[in-house]
Each structure stands twice: as structure tokens, then as C-alpha cells.
Copies of this chain bind each other. A is one copy, B any other.
């Protein structure tokens, strides 16, 4: 297994956590998104979307973090990252999708570049943009998870699921944006449960071989 990764990418971070939770051995190839290494012809052969993460498994190339995590769940079912019943599985996937669709896409590098270069939006308004979308998403998540009867030390029950795999990188992003997260105590409590596990801890940005202080 070879993961094309960038230390700061939260989509790559999700896959690193899932690989670790499944207890899999994997190697990483660093793609520096700030330098634009995802736009090289060489990387386009790996992933025509020129995005990370991409996971090589034998002669197969898998893309899109959610599709990769579902693949790992199907190919390596133990330990499970989805609950047993269809309703619970849908709930866990919904949390992951809320983060993957309703929070993360608005704040990634290509969008921030477009706001700056094409629309002339200044630093202060760009920061407010990031805080707005993360804040809206986290408010919804906090309300949903807080009142759900099956919430435990983790988003769902007593062991990590796909929901936690998606939540933790988004909290790292929020902290990088220097957000006050005190309004989301349930999310922070779950974050702490996750980070106590080596699978999450070892996947974090600054513990990757391509980590750079000057990119933060």
C-alpha cells in the first residue's frame, strides 16, 4: 500500500487514520500541494483528478478519501469502522459526509486561492469565511451528536468509526485557523478520546515525514 499524501491535507489525514486503525502497513509518497506537485504530468498518471489522497493497492489506484475508506472497510473488515445495523451505518456515514461535503470543501487551498486571486478577498475576510463555514458545520454536528442516544466516548459508541476518522482532521483545521472551539464540548471530548489512540496520533500532520513548520 502506497499513499500519496501531503502532511497538511485533511483528506489525506483521514486515510492515514483509517490505514492505522486497520493495522495496515503503508508507505507514503509526499506530494507538496503548496509547490503544486499535484499538477505534474507524472502525478496525473496516478490520479487524473490531480488531487490527493490517492492509494495504490497492487495495480489498483483508489481516489477520494471517503471511497478509499469504504474500500478499506470492505477489504479489511476487522476492526470495523462502521456499526452493524443499516440505520447506525447511515448515521455514521452522515457525520462523515457532513464534514466532507458541508465543511471541508469550502476551506481548502484551491478555494482560498480563488477568493484571493480572482475575487480580491483580503486576509481578514478570508479568515472570516473559514471560521463561518467551520462554525456552521460544527454547530450542527455538536447539536446532532450531543443529543444522539448512541454517542459514546467516540462519535458512535465505544470504538472509533468513519465519523471519527473525518472529525479529527477537521478539528485540526479549525485549530490551524485559530478558532475558539469552546462552543463544541462534545466534539472536543471525542477529539481527546481519539487522540489518545496511536492510530490517530501518529497520523497527525506534524508527525508526517513531509511536515514543514514554515507551511503552517
Which of B93, B106, B118 meets A70, CB within 8 Å?
B93
Q: Is the CB of B105 within 8 A of A102?
A: yes
Most chain B CB within a 10 A radius of its CB, from A94, A140, A144: A94
Report the minimum CB–CB distance from A137 to chain B (whole Å).
9
* Bound complex: CA A80 to CA B5 (Å): 32
Which residues from chain B contact A64 at a C-beta distance below 8 Å?
A: 93-94, 97-98, 101
Q: Are B132 and A125 in contact, CB atoms less than 8 angstroms apart?
A: no
Copies in the complex: 2
For residue A111, CB closer than 8 A to chain B, the reply is yes
A residues 115-148 in Cβ contact with B at 8 Å: 118-119, 121, 125, 128-129, 132, 140, 143-144, 147
> How does the 8 Å CB contact mask read for A182-215 relative to B, with 1 for contact and 0 for none?
0000000000000000000000000000000000
At the interface, yes or no: A74 with Cβ under 8 Å from chain B?
A: yes
Does A86 sit within 8 A of B, measured CB to CB? Answer: yes
Contact (Cβ within 8 A) B98 A101: no
Does A22 sit within 8 A of B, measured CB to CB?
no
Smallest CB-CB separation from A87: which chain B residue? B60
In the complex, whether A50 has a CB less than 8 A from a CB of chain B is yes
Interface size class of A (residues with CB under 8 A): 35 or more
- A111 shortest CB reach to chain B, Å: 7
How far apart are A101's CB and chain B's nearest CB, in angstroms? 5
- B106 & A93 in contact (Cβ 8 Å cutoff): no
- Distance (Å) between the CB of A51 and the closest chain B CB? 7
A-B contact pairs, 15 of them (CB 8 A): A48-B144, A63-B94, A64-B97, A66-B101, A67-B93, A70-B93, A71-B89, A71-B90, A97-B100, A105-B105, A114-B129, A118-B128, A118-B129, A119-B125, A119-B129
A residues engaging B (CB < 8 A)? Answer: 48-51, 60, 62-68, 70-71, 74-75, 86-87, 89-91, 93-94, 96-98, 100-102, 104-106, 111, 114, 118-119, 121, 125, 128-129, 132, 140, 143-144, 147
